[in-house]
Structure 1
């Protein structure tokens, strides 16, 4: 065949490309033999006749079906480049014929989150868990395993620049809405009932405790001003910033709220300041109060659920 014949040359190139494509298809469809280690004394040999799936989720489903496994699992493969050490499987591209895999059973009752030590390359979901329950960010073979704690008193945020006033009960919100509208028309101030006042102070105290059980005087002033700013009908003309009365009520409410928590024993940060926790000679309230320092979000965190000292 002469070089000057483009049709023949083009036909030759297309034939070579077809041969390569056919060979590539044959290689993809070649069966792969794997050894899956379930425990120290149990292992299963499996064979993938259609090749290795591109998706990690599909590959894990194949392993679970072949080995009769259920629940949540993690796969590790034996890396021959690092002395036959088992490392976490994050991609199916490393799986070859005669690869040795190891199955790790995960606890379904705990939320599992994986954080990569190096900058993440991709994000994949953990098979068997919903996206709302867990997430996997990865991924290198070195990961940190974190389990969630059931403690609701763990704080992770500092005092906000603008304190968010919570939403009160339906009846209180309706009265405040009508009171605000009336205040905009005639500047008439709303006089809250005892039930309404109790509801407002209770919800505000819970919101303050979410940040700190021992708010500073300036912090309580910010909360009182935020309350009267959101609900102008609660302003108190003649007082400082028209909210000084609310500041005094909130300080008293926080003291009562800490007393309730101390009685229930649900807040170690408050219980440690009780008179029972002090020595005989220091048994009065203002002695050695343990309060968070500046920039401490969780001064005295409780032990994780299920753990003791």
Structure 2
């Protein structure tokens, strides 16, 4: 099947894929072919409506043989009006309406603008359009370059326009791009406007890379002076220990408060949610909307105050459920945590099981051997069992079972076993703690942080991992062995 895929106005790809049987299969094919992450909506040009874009919900709606698709990444903070569309209960008049600060307009049509980044660094950087006069000059200069290979003598006004627009475009992806990122931007610029090649280098983009690096420093300083939260934080006393510096952070490390609101307004929303979760019938629609809306306040508390988990759980109880863990991860990283993790786990589970079997042969590890024997017997749902075995086997492989992962009986209280556990998993089983149990024996899985049970009553054995590049030597060794397999 031939597809024309619109990633952005300046990035349109032509690809060929096997005819998909479902929208999910098409999504997977697009991710593999285009090397992008999931988290987008697929739209297609519908011939029944003069090729107007429509959301793709059923694969049968897609035109056969060839089609034009547009991938749309939604912003995290859904724009909501100042007066919520959700009707509040009769006994609550003011808790549901999002009230603006005194400096904000009071119009019913006022909307909260999302300042969150919604896309990861692209494989090919989209060069923005410049002002009309600069675009016109570049067009003429490109034509001249094609004829005689003469580069454009860049005037100050063109230089400032190009660097300024590129800095704005770069910041929408990263506040602190690496030198390799800036080199890709410079290469994309030269590819689009070859007349901008600078003499004295083989590619003609080295000078632009250096200029972009200096421009980004000036651009960050400008935003810092205007009160940009994530940039101000990075200039604080370096002696103060912080969880993570913004330049090494996630996609949305420390977003600013939504336009037209202040901390007091967000704090009122937090208090409403704190009381709402105590009710028997929780208004989940309002709760989820307000969790999106208060993300900047919550993130500021985590980054700046670094509270204990118990404190965070007390102030933000709605955050401590499986659905909101996924949602918060998406707000920060713009990734689907569950599908990303399970895809990675499925890609590595066979390699992990192979390493486990090798260790059993070499060292005679009884626990791993029992796990693997049980896997061979449990053939009903091999994918799920393989995932569980790969995860259960890691603590034994690293000789950390009992410190990170504990198996207890359902008759035992969680409170006793969480003592002394800074981070770990408690797996509750019905009859015994033998590694030969099946998945049906597991009645509860609880996640513990700082001796606090933050999540429990989870139906299966899941671990949320992001090893990154700065991990222990034994984890690096494991990663190397997986790559060898």
Give TM-score scaled by structure 2 length.
Answer: 0.31
Say which structure is richer in strand.
Answer: 1
Larger fraction in helix: 2
Higher Cα radius of gyration: 1
Q: Normalising by structure 1, what TM-score? A: 0.48
